[in-house]
A and B are shown apart, each in its own frame.
Chain A
Amino acid sequence: MAKYSLKINGKTQQVDVDPSTPILWVLRDHLNMPGTKFGCGMAQCGACTIHLDGNATRSCVLPVSAIGKSAITTIEGLSENGTHPVQKAWLEHDVAQCGYCQSGQIMSATALLKSNPKPTDEDIDNAMSGNICRCGTYLRIKEAIKTAANTSNAK
């Protein structure tokens, strides 16, 4: 076990866990933040996507010992009350079916728009193809990303 001080959603949190523990399980088991989902545990599905210093990262393969001073953002910290333009676009397009993959999708989408505010379809394809949705909501995800891109740019 080892103690870590983690910057998560703007707050500093202490955990005492094995250094190999992936951030996914630190969040879910130790910090009561279940918004980040477990899907595969091997960086194949994107359900566990978080932001590490603003970049989309698969938390299931990221050991807590590797975080250092980097800032973590999870779906819970994306906005107060679901008001991030991407979340609002998700509501507008009623994107989800079962919803399980969606926090990972939203985290990938927000990271994309941050680095590329006006993504083309191809940019979206590239950025989002690491996130599996068994329910098949990909078209709505794409539309929602475009809506978010427009509303963000309009601001």
Chain B
Amino acid sequence: MKTQSRRSFLKASALSGGGFMLGLYQDVFAGQKIKSSISNAIPVQFLESSNFNELNGFVKITADNVIKIMSPNPEGGQGVKTSMPMIVAEELDVDFTKIIIEQADLDTKHFTRQFIGGSQAIHQGYTALRMAGATARQMLREAAAQKWNVPVNEISTELGVLYHKNSGKLAKYGEMATTAAQIPVPRDVKLKEIKDFKIIGKSQRNVDLDKIVSGKPLFGIDTKVDGMLIAMIVHPPAMGLKFKAVQNESVVKKMKGIKDVFPIKIFNDDYEKTFFDTNQFNEVVAIVGSSTWEVMQAKKALKVSWDEQAAFSQNRNMNGRKMAEKIPTGLENSTDHTTKLAEGLLKPANIRRKDGDVENAFKNASKVIERTYNAPFLAHNCMEPMNFFAHVTDEKVSLSGPLQKPEFTEQALSTRLGIPLEKIDIKLTRLGGGFGRRSYAHWLIEAALISQKVKAPVKLIYTREDDMTAGIYRPSYSAKYRAALDANNNLIGFHVKVGGIPQTPLAPNRFPAGAVDNYLAEDFTIDTNITVGSYRAPHSNFMAAAEQSFLDEIAETAGKDPITFRLDLLKRAKDNPVGKNNDYDANRFIKVLELVKEKSNWESTKSLKKLGFSAYFCHDSYAAHVLDVEMKEGLPVVNKVFCAIDCGIVINPDAAKNMSEGGIVDAIGAAMYGKMAFSKGVPESNNFHNYRMIRHNEAPKAIEIHFVENTEKPTGMGEPAYPPVHAALANALYKATGKRLYSQPFSENL
């Protein structure tokens, strides 16, 4: 039995939500507490007129027993609109299939961290969501106790019904809701024992699925209101260019259905950027008209001249801490990026962790292995292109659409428009994919500026070409790994030097740190005017690929089984860890490896099949994969994927499986085909005919997901299955082809 004080509930509430993009700004945030804006007691009034009695920000019940649970975080396919309310419903003790679930608007009074990012929604929100349900239930019990004049501890609940055994009195929650809403928030509430969970751990179907399969409007791009205009933008054709002038404005304005053509400036010159404000194309041309097709025609006809963007530097305000950024001028080429990364690997870099005497270890080694791994920029390619609805008037700013970090974007918009936050409303629609891309919501500001100018409600839509060529890519990386083996093939030295354009992917305290006596991790960055942003499992998606491919090669050189080799290292890290700051729990890591080894029948099938293994820890979760791959007519076929994950308690098992399957398929696609190259600053791919995505026939034939069963607090789920895939695939392809793969995309190197 757990009890928590009201104070700790409110504190916990402050943590509810999506967590804080740990992957992206892991260094900036190390050890910091984010200021929260929630400080008040449980709210009395919500921003809507209805007869719902609000028991707290999450739970609302009408007198006639309609029970509504608010889902605070944006839903982008990660399943939080189902799983977060499940947690509330568990403690509230209601029938999950008989309640209404509603997406909350951005509402900083009631919720914080209404984000998608870092796979943190459930991890951070777990306790607060349980408290929200438990507190509401307690208030309902107290209301019943008052009405029936019996002691509160004699009142039990079951599936939305209050019951007093001695008197036989029964009431639905709705009957007590009005009274309950007046009751002070209880100081202490009991949370359920894990063994008593009825909803958590039982698969519930995606709450929006009926709408999805019948084509009901759900997504931002589906928004339509009376008098709404359609807007599109034209941005510079190359990174490193900026807007100069529109050349044929009068011609385009006369085109059918076109209302206006004008440039807009996203941020003012003196604006101090924060986390998610982008560096790209600060000035773009807006075209506004009455229908999408007409605006698309005008977009094709528009002629714009461009200038070279001068170099600039700035200090980004990262929650008070300044982060210096230098953006160079020029039109960049992918070939130059490759050269610069290779040069960086030869130069001294920033030492991020050093254990023991690495130089000596390499000097005394019997064998030294050195390998370099490369990865290109990647485009996010959410299936729903970037879009946003805005209606800006002097009194009010109404916005609606798909975005991942509404609170940050709202602040940027408020500064840009000079309109206070109170006058800005942001409704969160379902996201047709996010993957990090929708954290950088310059398009929201664009939509608002366009609406302000044309004085009408506007829906801004990016074409696929805009979406793919407007910037915000997964950074490009290169890593050099070195390993020293002694005469008995023990790993005595490990050295990684890694660079990113323009961000470092290094997490220096992750495995195999802690498992090797002599360990050195260094990094460097290269400035660019190509804009980047977090991309599903930021940085981990590359580090896992490189490191786990390398470990496979070390194991082979040492003559050891690749899983046994890693298990031996993990056992070392568990029993006698090197250093103190190791990020991971070696014991939990070991169990995941053992689980996938067992489920894949590794021992008995490894000689028969082309199996590749890989494992990684990120977003507080552990994942390990075995891929069974063969080559057919020169093309790889993934026959089977075995996946083991430890993400603590699994809230919605089938949805978590779906998410993991998707992560595996998506990662195979990125590893095999993903690539965004640049030629004189121009993105070389602009639609799906020249940016290859994994397709139905290329997906694995079968995937088995196994969760480690434990009672650990739930951790990240949306991302952890993704990073280990690339290396498991590379390692399996090595078995199938005899060729090691060092550069993504693999399809170009097979």
Contacts and interface: CB of A to CB of B under 8 A. Distances in A.
Contacts of A22: 293
A44 B661 CA distance: 23
B215 A76 contact: yes
A133 B383 contact: yes
B381 to A, nearest CB: 6
A17 to B, nearest CB: 8
B431 interface: yes
Nearest to A105: B696
A42 B383 contact: no
B294 interface: yes
A91 B291 contact: no
B210 A82 contact: yes
B274 to A, nearest CB: 27
Contact of A96 (B209, B385, B435, B666): B209
A136 B385 contact: no
A69 B384 CA distance: 31
A40 interface: yes
B665 interface: yes
Interface string A103-142: 1001000000000000001001110111111111111111
A136 B214 contact: no
Q: Which of B206, B661, B699 has the most CB of A within 10 A?
A: B699
A99 B222 contact: no
A75 B213 CA distance: 8
Nearest to A33: B215
Interface in B427-449: 430-435
Interface in B668-699: 669, 687-689, 693-697, 699
Q: Which of B78, B292, B430 has the most CB of A within 10 A?
A: B292
B256 A18 contact: yes
Interface in A62-85: 74-76, 78-79, 81-82
Contacts of A6: none
A54 interface: no
A81 B214 contact: yes
Given A29-B291, A44-B689, A126-B697, A139 B77 contact: no
Contacts of B703: 139
B662 interface: yes
B688 A44 contact: yes
A11 interface: no
B664 interface: yes
Given A34-B222, A98-B383, A139 B205 contact: no
B687 A137 contact: no
Interface string B383-424: 111000000000000000000000000000000000000000
Interface stretch (B157-165, B308-316, B522-530, B651-659): B651-659
Interface residues of A, number: 64
B224 interface: yes
A139 B381 contact: no
B464 A136 contact: no
A116 B702 CA distance: 23
B645 interface: no
A17 B343 CA distance: 57
A3 interface: no
A137 B383 contact: no
Interface in A36-54: 36-42, 44-45, 47
B213 A91 contact: yes
Nearest to B211: A99
Given A39-B464, A136-B661, A94 B205 contact: yes
Contacts of B697: 125-126, 128-129
A132 B210 contact: no
Contact of A98 (B222, B384, B463, B696): B384
7 contacts: A25-B293, A35-B217, A81-B214, A96-B77, A96-B206, A136-B665, A137-B665
Interface of A: 1, 17-18, 20-22, 25, 28-30, 32-42, 44-45, 47, 74-76, 78-79, 81-82, 87, 90-91, 94-103, 106, 121, 124-126, 128-142
